[in-house]
Amino acid sequence: MALRSLTGFDVVLRRLSGLFNERAIRLAFLGGAVRASENQFRNLHDMVRDAAYILDLPEVPEIYVQQSPQPNAMAIGSDHPFIVVNTGLLDLHDDEELRFIVAHEVGHILSGHAVYQTMMMILTRLGARLAWLPLGNIGIAAIIMGLQEWFRKAELSADRAGLLGGQDLDAAKRTMMKMAGGTRLSEMNTEAFLAQAREYDAAGDVRDGFLKFLNLLNLTHPYPVVRFAEIDRWAKSGEYERILAGDYPRREDDANASFSEEIRNAANAYRESWSQTADPFIGKVRDIAEGAASAASGLLDRVTRRGNGNTD
């Protein structure tokens, strides 16, 4: 939110998103999908309205249903973001799980993630068109990789919004289990699935950690076990209950947001996520990063002292 308070940031963001012709994308779904309303997919229409109200999103986004067996949903657009839900997702989940998913997508819109989802979608298509050129899509591929890593983190934030919107932790957990194992919930167990998540986090040695990193390179979402464990941890941390009780930052405070403070908060969030993992590869990366940060901090201190006329 602090980024949006920087002079010119909104202008740059709108210029970039304008390159992707949001109106053309919306028209494609208007012509090739079904828009939920009071007369079509009424349950989804009510869910997105309720989620917008609970999460305090000023404008209720449109929601479209498109025929695809792939269980997926996404929020795209910038000026007027909208939600697209595949029929495969509707076939996989019950209404309470769908309520979590719809609120998850509303969370993306509320957090400003939809424009980056749109950028990634367009860049992916552009990269495919340039694949025939020597080195034609290497730069685009690098951008997409960066966006995918950012979006994997954003998915965890949107899961929290989904839980706040649906306010049903069991439904959120069932959603993740179905994404991993399908509809046969009677064959699955939440405690065993959580144990599986812990095993995945700590599995093997540094080599296994590196292989997990490689497996994620082309994914926009963390694995379901990771999302399951994270939503379970957050729900038990006390922050979820605190927000439900009304203790959270208000939108009117956005204008006073400090850019440097937000950068520190982001760094602390990454540091916290690193400290919580048992992954040996992440542990090595953390040690290297902390060593580099300490060296940089010492160098900065020396430069500052010299600039102030102090010497050792």
How high is the pLDDT of residue 7? Answer: 41
Tokens of 220: 């926009």
> Can you tell me the distance from the alpha carbon of 174 to that of 270, in angstroms, rounded to the nearest whole number?
27
- 31, 66: one domain: yes
Tokens 């440097």: give the residue. 260
pTM of this structure = 0.72
Rounded CA-CA distance 5/112 in Å is 13
Q: Are residues 224 and 191 part of one domain?
A: yes
Residues 205 and 307 in one domain: no
Q: Which of helix, strand or coil describes residue 68?
A: coil
Contact 200, 225 (CB under 8 A): yes
For residues 260 and 286, state if they share a domain. no
The pLDDT score that the predictor gives to residue 289 is 44
**Which of the residues 62, 97, 105, 155 is marked catalytic?**
105
Residue of 79, 81, 90 whose CA lies nearest to 29:
81
150 and 268, same structural domain?
A: yes
According to DSSP, the residues that pair with 85 across neighbouring strands are: 65, 73
Indicate if 105 belongs to the active site: yes
Question: Which amino acid is it at 155?
Answer: E
78 shares its domain with 209? yes
What whole-number distance in Å separates Cα of residue 96 and Cα of residue 174?
Answer: 10
3-state helix, strand, coil in the chain (%, to 5): 70, 5, 25
Whether residue 7 is found in the same domain as residue 101: yes
Beta strand pairing call for 73-76 and 34-35: unpaired
Claim to verify: residue 218 and residue 310 sit in the same structural domain: no
Same domain, yes or no: 308 and 167: no
Residues of the domain holding 126: 3-276
Q: How far apart are the first and last CA of the chain?
A: 41
> pLDDT per position in the chain (312 positions), as tens?
434 444 444 444 455 555 556 788 899 999 999 999 999 999 999 999 999 999 999 999 999 999 999 999 999 887 789 999 999 999 999 999 999 999 999 999 998 776 666 666 666 666 555 555 554 555 556 555 666 666 678 889 899 999 999 999 999 999 999 999 999 999 999 999 999 999 988 876 777 777 877 777 777 788 999 999 999 999 999 999 999 998 887 766 656 555 455 445 555 555 555 455 555 544 544 454 444 444 444 544 554 455 555 555
Do 219 and 289 lie in one domain? The reply is no
Which amino acid is located at 51 in the chain?
Answer: A
At 245, list the tokens: 């009780």
